[in-house]
Amino acid sequence: MNTHDAIVAFSQCEKIKSGLIWLSQSLNFLPGLSEPAKPGAEQVLKALLGMIANEIQIIRRHNKDEFWLKTEKKLEVAMVMMNSGVPHEAGYHISQALSQVTTIGQRAMSHLKSEGLLTAGGPTN
């Protein structure tokens, strides 16, 4: 991984992880919704999943890391679950995608630290 790819991957990972956490937490609320509210909520969650998947496609085209492809496939399975009427099953695949993204982010962070571009203690005066 070169420094430019590490910077892009690190920043994208943080954004994507945030989206995946929001999505995962929101899926947990679905069972408690009234029946008339569920279809609308599911549509919103599908849209969010689609936006996250688009972000991953963008970074995957820029950075050929195989982990992005694995992450994308996990989200494809999650979308299939949501489209099949079992959105609660999507949570497992979203968790796996989150794990993949975390791994990518950790690798990028390690590279940036080794280059002296990122420090563990924050800014120093």
pLDDT higher than 80, residue 125: no
Gyration radius from the chain CA atoms: 16
Give the closest residue to 90 by CA, choosing from 102, 103, 100, 76: 76
pLDDT higher than 80, residue 51: yes
pLDDT digits (tens, 9 = 90+) for 64-99: 788 899 999 999 999 999 999 999 899 999 999 999
pLDDT digits (tens, 9 = 90+) for 1-44: 889 989 999 999 999 999 999 999 999 999 999 999 999 999 99
DSSP string, 35-93: TTTHHHHHHHHHHHHHHHHHHHHHHHHH---HHHHHHHHHHHHHHHHHHTT-HHHHHHH
